[in-house]
Each structure stands twice: as structure tokens, then as C-alpha cells.
């Protein structure tokens, strides 16, 4: 069972590169937000798995809960901030 969780942690960290690519390459700010949100939800699970591997789930679960909260607040604040057409469209034209 510990082996399963260990290899799942490896697999999750590899899977996290796909949203990371989306977060780095865009094309718009909102795409980056989607990527960051998806990475955050995987990080929550990864933290709990790390806790399982070290045998300290009761401690890591608080960190995971705080991370889930932080992820939610970050996405909410950022999407409130980037709602102007100008900022998003400028980035599209510059081809990033």
C-alpha cells in the first residue's frame, strides 16, 4: 500500500507538468489561471500523499486544507483583477 502511494506521488508530480505547460504558455491570462487552479488541486492531494509516506497524515492534512483555501482565494482574487479586455487582448496580440 505504501508503494502504491509512493508511485502515485511520482505520477501526480509528472501529471502536474501538463497544467504547468498551460500556465506558462497561455495564450491568455485566464488560461494561465485555469492551469494554476488545476495544479493547486493536485498539490492538495500530493501534500496528503506526502503525509501518508511520512506517516504524519494528521499534520499534513492541515497544510493541505490551508493550501486548498489559498488556491481558492488566489483564483478568486486574480479573476476579479484580470477582467479588463485590454490586458487580456494585448497579450494575445503579442503572441505569448
Partner 1 sequence: MNELITIIWLGGLLFFTGGSIGILRFPDFYARLHPAGKLDTAGQFLALSAVALYVLQDLSLHTFLTAAKLILIVIFVYITGPTATHAIVDAGVRAVIEPWVQPERRT
Cβ at position 95, least distance to partner 1 in Å: 16
For residue 55, the 8-state DSSP code is: T
Cβ at position 46, least distance to partner 1 in Å: 10
Cβ at position 68, least distance to partner 1 in Å: 6
Residues that bind partner 1 (CB under 8 A): 1, 4, 8, 11-12, 15-16, 18-19, 21-22, 28, 30-31, 33-35, 37-38, 41-42, 44-45, 48-49, 52, 57-58, 61-62, 64-65, 68-69, 72, 75-76, 79-80, 82-85, 88-89
Question: Minimal CA–CA distance to 6: which of 39, 64, 54?
Answer: 54
Amino acid at each position: 500500500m505504501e508503494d502504491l502511494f509512493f508511485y502515485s506521488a511520482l505520477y501526480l508530480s509528472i501529471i502536474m507538468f501538463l497544467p504547468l505547460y498551460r500556465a506558462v504558455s497561455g495564450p491568455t491570462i485566464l488560461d494561465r489561471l485555469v492551469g494554476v487552479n488545476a495544479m493547486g488541486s493536485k498539490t492538495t492531494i500530493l501534500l496528503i500523499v506526502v503525509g501518508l509516506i511520512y506517516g504524519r497524515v494528521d499534520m499534513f492534512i492541515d497544510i493541505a486544507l490551508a493550501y486548498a483555501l489559498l488556491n481558492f482565494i488566489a483564483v478568486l482574487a486574480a479573476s476579479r483583477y484580470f477582467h479588463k479586455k485590454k490586458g487580456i487582448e494585448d497579450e494575445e496580440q503579442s503572441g505569448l
